[in-house]
Structure 1
Amino acid sequence: MPYKEKEIEKQYYSIGEVAAQFDVAPSLIRFWETEFEQLKPKKNKKGNRQYTPKDIENLRTVYHLVKERGYTIQGAKEMMKNKSVQTKDKIEIIESLEKVKAFLQGIKNQLNTKA
């Protein structure tokens, strides 16, 4: 299931909120934190993770590589290490194209219902 695009508006998000955005279990996010050095959310005094918008962007990159593109953990690590800027640019392009596709499909559906 694709990442649920949501405007990032808060300073910090809980692991439950982040997991819901990506439609994954919180345990998967904790696992990814152990595997990817880019995923290091702050923790409050109680030890609860606090994800910033930057943390969520990094997590979105991991999600895209592992879940959407089918990379192994090791392959995703290498991609993030070697081509982090290129990878983020490609993700943004893909997301833009998916939005355009959805928009065009909506227009097509409207035209089909009127015909």
Structure 2
Amino acid sequence: MEKVYYSISEVAALLKMNLSNLRFYEKEFKQLKPKRNDKGTRFYSKDDIQLLKQIKYLIDDKKLTLDGVRQQLNEKKDAIQKQQELVERLKLIKTQLLGIVKELN
């Protein structure tokens, strides 16, 4: 059974990001609003994680500025998600192919 909410540490590990980057993106992107408990601890939903994946993709892979990311998120949410999913699939295929090449050698 999948979790409904994830801690900031779990999200950072899942996305291979620093905690400080997650906090920074929360301040920079109004769409990112993790839930908080009474102590202020952040809890990220699956939608929050998907949004973070899109932000990471636009910054790391597409090399967009923060303003560019904001614009893309506002204009092309579905297209970004499809591109990001395609890139993830291609990276997985690359990893699998490299494993096959390694086994053949």
**Deviates further, 25-34 or 48-57:** 25-34
AA in 2 matched with 1:41:
P
Distance 1:69 1:57 in 2: 17
Output the CA distance in 1 between the equivalents of 2:46 and 2:20: 20
Q: Aligned letter for 1:83?
A: K
What corresponds to 1:52 in structure 2?
A: 45
Matched to 1:34, the amino acid is: K
Residue pairs, 1:24-103, within 5 angstroms: 24-103=17-96
**Greater shift after overlay, 86-95 or 102-111?**
102-111
What is the aligned partner in structure 2 of residue 3 from structure 1?
none
In the other structure, the counterpart of 2:97 is: 104
The one-character-per-residue Cα deviations of 1:54-113 (angstroms, maximum 9, x if unpaired) are 11111111111112322110001111111110010001111111111211121111112x
The one-letter code matched in structure 1 to 2:82 is D
1:11 offset after TM fit, Å? 1.4
SS in structure 1 of the partner of residue 4 of structure 2: coil
In the aligned structure 1, how far is the partner of 2:94 from the partner of 2:8?
Answer: 31
The alignment partner of 1:50 has SS state of: strand
Q: Name the TM-score, length of structure 2 as normaliser.
A: 0.90
Any gaps of 5 or more consecutive residues in structure 1?
Answer: 1-7
Identity level (%): 40
- Equivalent residue for 1:11? 4
| Structure number with bigger Rg | 1
